[in-house]
A and B are shown apart, each in its own frame.
Chain A
């Protein structure tokens, strides 16, 4: 079965960086893109960006441009999200989520069909 297993909770100081991993199994890694979504405490869901595991193209939300990098390791079927210059308002649970799509043309409908368990990143001095 499809599994997305994320790395453990992190506590970081303001200005530091964090790198969260998402190890996948149960499917062909390069057939599905991956997005990262975060959720601040008591708040809603926020899409951060997307990486194609096939050609490594990325698309980052403007809000995170310059601070976020998403990468993959096809030898371990793992996706990574690094966020730099952390601030207190980056405190959130970070989720990796697999994107699937219909075969519709010209534009396939896309949605998130599997999610990691979430990684709590706390930014505090």
Chain B
């Protein structure tokens, strides 16, 4: 199985800050990498697909980059609704696997 490792596991920041979350795959996965945000008590929602693409309706403050084994999710200016947990996910191989999550908290 491909292991996905996120860093940091938790992060404190303020509204308006720029933050970056990293995700590393144990094997190369090209750009088969997606990012999700999960607010407490709700289902995850996709933010980025195929490493750097924004689905319709996702705010432009979210951006993704990387290929191969190293990927990033950047939020350019944190909004109150962004304090949540973020997961990366690879769809290169079965089983599809998620990172352990990065919890973003208010400073």
Main SS class of interface, B: loop
Are B55 and A102 neighbours in the complex by a CB distance under 8 Å? no
Are A45 and B45 neighbours in the complex by a CB distance under 8 Å? no
Count A-side interface residues using an 8 Å CB cutoff: 23
Are A47 and B98 neighbours in the complex by a CB distance under 8 Å? yes
Please, how many angstroms separate the alpha-carbon atoms of A124 and B55 in the complex?
A: 40
**4 pairs of A and B residues whose beta carbons are closest in the complex:** A115-B43, A109-B50, A111-B49, A61-B95
User: A59 interface residue, CB < 8 Å from B?
Assistant: yes
B31, B55, B101: which contacts A44 (Cβ < 8 A)? B101
Task: Give me the interface of A with B, judged by CB distance under 8 Å.
Answer: 35, 44-47, 50, 59, 61-63, 95, 97, 102, 107, 109-113, 115-118
Please, how many angstroms separate the alpha-carbon atoms of A62 and B1 in the complex?
A: 10
Please, how many angstroms separate the alpha-carbon atoms of A40 and B98 in the complex?
A: 14
Known contacts A109-B31, A111-B34: A116-B43 contact under CB 8 Å: yes
User: B62 interface residue, CB < 8 Å from A?
Assistant: no
User: B96 interface residue, CB < 8 Å from A?
Assistant: yes
Are B44 and A45 neighbours in the complex by a CB distance under 8 Å? yes
In the complex, what's the smallest C-beta–C-beta distance from B30 to chain A, in angstroms? 8
Q: Using Cβ atoms and an 8 Å threshold, which residues of chain A touch B38?
A: 45
Per-residue CB proximity of B85-107 to A under 8 Å, as 1/0? Answer: 00101010011111111000000
A45, A62, A115: which contacts B87 (Cβ < 8 A)? A45
Q: Which B residues between 52 and 107 are near A, CB-CB below 8 angstroms?
A: 55, 87, 89, 91, 94-101
Are A45 and B98 neighbours in the complex by a CB distance under 8 Å? yes
User: B19 interface residue, CB < 8 Å from A?
Assistant: no
Q: Which of B36, B43, B50, B100 has the most CB of A within 10 A?
A: B43
Q: Using Cβ atoms and an 8 Å threshold, which residues of chain A touch B101?
A: 44-45
Of the A-B pairs whose beta carbons lie under 8 Å apart in the complex, a sample of 10, sorted by A's number, is A44-B99, A44-B101, A45-B36, A45-B44, A50-B96, A95-B43, A95-B44, A102-B50, A110-B91, A111-B91
Q: Using Cβ atoms and an 8 Å threshold, which residues of chain B touch A61?
A: 94-95
Residue of A nearest to B85 (CB): A44
